[in-house]
């Protein structure tokens, strides 16, 4: 099983930083910054590395909000406040930027609303459902339980 980490990065302007993926032969979609955990890395170290690679970001992790498990991989979704980030391609690195066949990765801030989250075709779908349900309920994401404290809330898809 592969572990993956992703960040819900909420800016001071209440925007969610997403990455718009444009791949040959596919409809555009959005994902949260993050990626695979390498051998020997813990989850939060992997998240920090992925944020640096993908959007030149540093962030303060607030909590672990969601874990999605589909038997092939397990994704950990962290809530964080970015201290800095960049959309400049010169500031970003990693294998996804050196292989043109992987398509483009464009930083796309969106307003932290249910409508905006639905409009960008955010993947995976269970994350979108989780986010929209909490935003529709006017929930403060920073008040939700931190799953690092031992509470069980993994969802299978």
Task: Summarize the confidence of residues 89-108 as an average pLDDT.
Answer: 76
2-156 is a CATH 3.90.79.10 domain: yes
Count Cβ atoms within 10 A of the Cβ of residue 32 and give its class: 0-12 exposed, 13-18 middle, 19 or more buried.
Answer: buried
Q: Which two tokens stand for residue 72?
A: 């092939």
Instruction: Write out pLDDT tens, residues 40-97.
Output: 999 999 999 999 999 999 999 999 999 999 888 999 999 999 999 998 888 887 666 6
Place of tokens 């170290």: 45
Average pLDDT, the chain: 90
The predicted pLDDT at position 126 comes to 96
Domain boundaries, the chain: 2-156
What SS3 class is residue 95? helix
Q: Which two tokens stand for residue 75?
A: 């994704």
């Amino acid at each position: 099983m592969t572990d993956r980490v992703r960040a819900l990065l909420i800016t001071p302007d209440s925007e969610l930083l997403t990455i718009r993926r444009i791949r040959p032969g596919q409809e555009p979609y959005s994902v949260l910054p993050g990626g695979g955990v390498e051998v020997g890395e813990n989850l939060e170290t992997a998240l920090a590395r992925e944020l640096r690679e993908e959007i030149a970001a540093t962030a303060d992790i607030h909590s672990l909000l969601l874990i999605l498990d589909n038997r092939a991989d397990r994704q950990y979704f962290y809530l964080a406040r970015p201290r800095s980030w960049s959309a400049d391609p010169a500031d970003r690195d990693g294998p996804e930027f050196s292989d043109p066949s992987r398509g483009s990765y464009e930083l796309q801030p969106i307003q932290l609303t249910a409508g905006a989250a639905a409009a960008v075709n955010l993947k995976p779908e269970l994350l979108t459902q989780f986010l929209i349900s909490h935003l529709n309920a006017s929930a403060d994401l920073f008040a939700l339980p931190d799953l690092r404290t031992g509470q069980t809330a993994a969802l299978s898809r």
